[in-house]
Amino acid sequence: MAPVADHEPRVVLSARGLGKDFGGFTAVNNVDLDVHHARIHALIGPNGAGKTTVFNLLTKFLQPSRGKITLLGTDITRTRPDKVARMGMVRSFQISAVFPHLTVLENVRVALQRPAELAVQFWRPLSALDRLNGRAEVLIDELGLTSYRDTRAADLSYGRKRVLEIATTLALDPEVLLLDEPMAGMGQEDVQMVAGIIREVARHRAVLMVEHNLNVVADICHQVTVLQRGEILAHGDYATVSTDPRVRTAYMGTEDA
């Protein structure tokens, strides 16, 4: 690995020449991406730019047609998605990814069961899972869901479902978090809260997020990559990217954003 300088944190996830074709249509082409430890990296771009496809490629929910992906120094270009998750990269989904008929506590516990090796015991009672409650409750408290501990996820408000999703993801203590539009459809208050959570989380982890809310991107993201028609249009910090004339035309329109 390259020597790590103080001000340039190590790369935990990188893609080189990433591409994906669906039949004759090239959805993603020649994407190079470096995600750093303890940094929040935003992936932005107009609708249909291929952001979610890039997410699916990086997490191996889709198999890339071209290119190479490296996670924590290991080539994962041909690795199965569940293995990628076990290696320390956990993703969220654009539509909220909770288990609707499980309670908040059970949702978080499902994530804890595998690392605690309490997932295959078909002969033990459910109370065997009680020893995970302590850890689950800490996460639930940290994310302000304490009073919803025994509420079924389906009965939570949209914003709280997204928060629960983050709590579940954090239960795995991943090195790399991929959040697909974590604030889509949220009210302003929830946006502020989730932005705060993400900032906190990223102190010891890498975060790559797809986000449409540019105020949030400007506020919390260290790096911004702009995608357009499946290719990288611009890259840099928010100030650089947002003043790039190509980006302004492509993404924000010609008016001031």
Residues that bind another protein (CB under 8 A): 59, 61, 80-83, 85-86, 90-93, 97-102, 106, 109-111, 113-114, 118-126, 128-129, 152, 154-155, 168, 172
**Pick 108 or 232: Cβ nearer another protein:** 108
**Pick 101 or 246: Cβ nearer another protein:** 101
**Cα separation of 118 and 176, whole Å?**
24
Buried b (16+ CB within 10 A) or exposed e, 89-120: bbbbbeebbbeeeebbbbbbbbbbbeeeeeee
**Cα separation of 192 and 215, whole Å?**
10
The separation between CA 208 and the C-alpha centre of its own chain, rounded to angstroms, equals 5
Least distance (Å) from another protein to the CB of residue 213? 23
**Pick 152 or 235: Cβ nearer another protein:** 152
**Pick 41 or 60: Cβ nearer another protein:** 60
Q: Which helix (H) or strand (E) holds 59?
A: none
Residue type, 227: L
**Pick 9 or 81: Cβ nearer another protein:** 81
Least distance (Å) from another protein to the CB of residue 117? 9
Least distance (Å) from another protein to the CB of residue 250? 30
**Residue 75 region, left (φ>0) first, then alpha (ψ -120 to 50), else beta?**
beta
Least distance (Å) from another protein to the CB of residue 8? 29
Least distance (Å) from another protein to the CB of residue 125? 7
**Cα separation of 97 and 181, whole Å?**
12
